[in-house]
Amino acid sequence: MKEITRIHLAKVPYEIEIDAKKVLQKYLDELKKYSADEDIFSDVEIRITEILSENKIITGGIITLEDVQKIKKQIGDPSVFCEDDDQLLENNSKVKKKLYRDTQNKIITGVASGIAEYFEVDAIIVRMAFILACFLSFGIGILVYIILSLIIPRAKNASEILNLRGRKITANNIKEVNAEYDFEKISRSSENFKKVICYFLGVVSLLIALGGISLIYIGNIGLNQAFTVPVEVDEASKIAIRILTNISGITFVLFFLALAISFFLIKLGKARLILLIASFIISVTSFTSGIYIAISRAYSVRGDILANEKVVDLNIDKQKLSQIKNIKVDGDIKVNYSVAKNKEASAKFHQFDKIKTAIKKEDIKAEIMEDTLKISTTKAKVYGWGVEQNIDIAGPEIEKITLNNTRFDYYGVSQPKLEIVQKSSSLKVLGDITIDELKIIQENESNINANGVIANKLIARSDIGRIELFKANNVEFETFNCRNRQGYHSYAELSLEKGKPAKILLNGKDFNEERRGECFMLDIDEDRRI
């Protein structure tokens, strides 16, 4: 077995055979003799370590005489430090290129200048291509640039610049590149830029992690509220959803904390990399699992509720119901009223026994006094879960509809008069019908959607309300509270036929174009039917 000693190349220790060291040391001494520039010799040493690495000899590895001969062959004869034209021509012959970022000629990170050098094109062309890609790809080009900045290494020495240009790594070429590049300055600039970017990303990651802690807290509050809905959810599902949600939040925080630490230390490390990957996988898995359980359970519960829906009769006298002229609804419930001429009057309620806190038949008070049907409930209706608690009524043409804190759909017919009084309510008039005189009184942010209605005369008094009609010819519109503190305002939208005179009064004065934005929208169009 051959004797082994130690040698340092570019401050990297290697084990080397004695006879190999003698040959290599003699070669290095010759290189030093021909080189007047210490930087050139340092770059040659760096190149030697690269050659050893390419030959699978890393720090602590043993260099043989065969390895030394390979080094001499690739570096070349020390006499190449001379600068005769023939030697320069040989030195500039092409070899296999390697892509690096050229930070000497950079604007941002040197990606474009490195690519330009590699493909031997003008850097301006590459930069314009990146700019154009950013616009055409809706910003994806920026992401591509950032990724390239991370994966393409920076050219740190003359050897790597020569690799980028596809030139032989010889002493003379190294000397030429060293004269062109100030690697010490480039290194300082790159390190400073790297630190700034890493610290910035570290702060951003830390803020996201802190935000994640807040989201965990808010998420648990949201779950508490979600579990209070009147739908029965089994305890096992509640626990599973809560655990998975919190695991997702905690791993999310850990992910960005680890990321922040890595940026602040300006290094990743195997342990942090494993933590990052693990926390990301756990976070995504737990989050998607929680969502899946929540959605699947919600659909299961909803299906069970709808399968057990009952339509019950409200037991209103049908003879009296067929003779009503007015209807009053008070309470948080949805009423569907259909004008049913020559059909039997009816009043039915959609009841859901699977929801313990839902409105039941006994919670609804329905009575007829003279010609007015009164419906009221003090219990709040169920919202969400695809569940709709409705009262379906079929009866005669209605002259007056009075609503308080409710929703009302009126499937009407053309009629002489209709009066609507609303307070905190929503009403839809469905069907293409004509009403000779439509009177509307609104309070507390009520709205009417009547896009199929033509009103020959509209009389409206609105307090922060909204009125939408298809067409009106004569309008008297009064606003007694145009705008509140939140910015809500009275609003009317309707059409007038072109070429036909119309009388429009807004707060007692003739309406004109100057008053268009004054709580009143006027759309002059011949065909606006929806």
Helix (H) or strand (E) holding 280: helix 270-307
Of 407, 398, 434, 252, nearest in space to 329 by CA: 407
Average pLDDT estimate for 393-420: 94
pLDDT of 97 > 60? The answer is yes
Q: How far apart are CA 390 and CA 288, in angstroms?
A: 35
So what's the pLDDT on residue 530? 33
- The residue-averaged pLDDT of 436-442 equals 92
Distance CA 525, CA 529 (A): 10
SS3 content of the chain, % helix, strand, coil (to 5): 45, 25, 30
The DSSP H or E segment spanning 447 is strand 447-463
Per-residue tokens: 374: 């009164």
The pLDDT-based confidence of 349 (bands split at 50, 70, 90) is: very high
Show me where the domains of the chain are located.
1-89+171-181, 191-307, 309-413, 415-530
C-alpha torsion sign, points 513, 516, 517, 523:
negative
The whole-angstrom separation of Cα 260 and Cα 286 is: 22
Query: pLDDT per residue over 329-340, tens digit each?
Result: 999 889 999 998
Given a contact cutoff of 8 angstroms between Cβ atoms, the answer to whether 159 and 50 are in contact is: yes
CA–CA separation, 17 and 20 (whole Å): 5
**Residue 250 binned pLDDT confidence (cut-offs 50, 70, 90):** confident
Per-range mean pLDDT, top range of 170-179, 197-206, 332-341, 480-489: 332-341
SS3 at position 371: coil
| Helix ranges, 137-234 (H) | 140-151, 158-165, 171-180, 183-226
Cα separation, 528 vs 86, in Å, equals: 86
For β-strands 407-411 and 334-339, DSSP reports them as: parallel
Does 85 have pLDDT greater than 80?
no
Q: Strands 4-9 and 390-395, how do they pair?
A: unpaired
- Whether residue 134 contacts residue 124, with contact meaning beta carbons closer than 8 Å, is answered with no
CATH of domain 309-413: 2.160.20.120
Q: Are the beta carbons of 427 and 420 closer than 8 angstroms? A: yes
pLDDT for residue 529: 38
Q: What global pTM score does this model have? A: 0.51
Question: Which among 37, 67, 40 is positioned nearest to 51, based on CA atoms?
Answer: 67
CA atoms within 13 A on the CB side of 251: 20
At residue 86 the predicted structure's pLDDT band, cuts being 50, 70 and 90, is: very low
For the stretch 4-36, pLDDT in tens is: 888 888 778 888 888 888 888 888 887 777 655
| Nearest in space to 184 (alpha carbons), one of 103, 99, 101 | 103
* CB-CB contact of 499 with 480 (8 Å): no
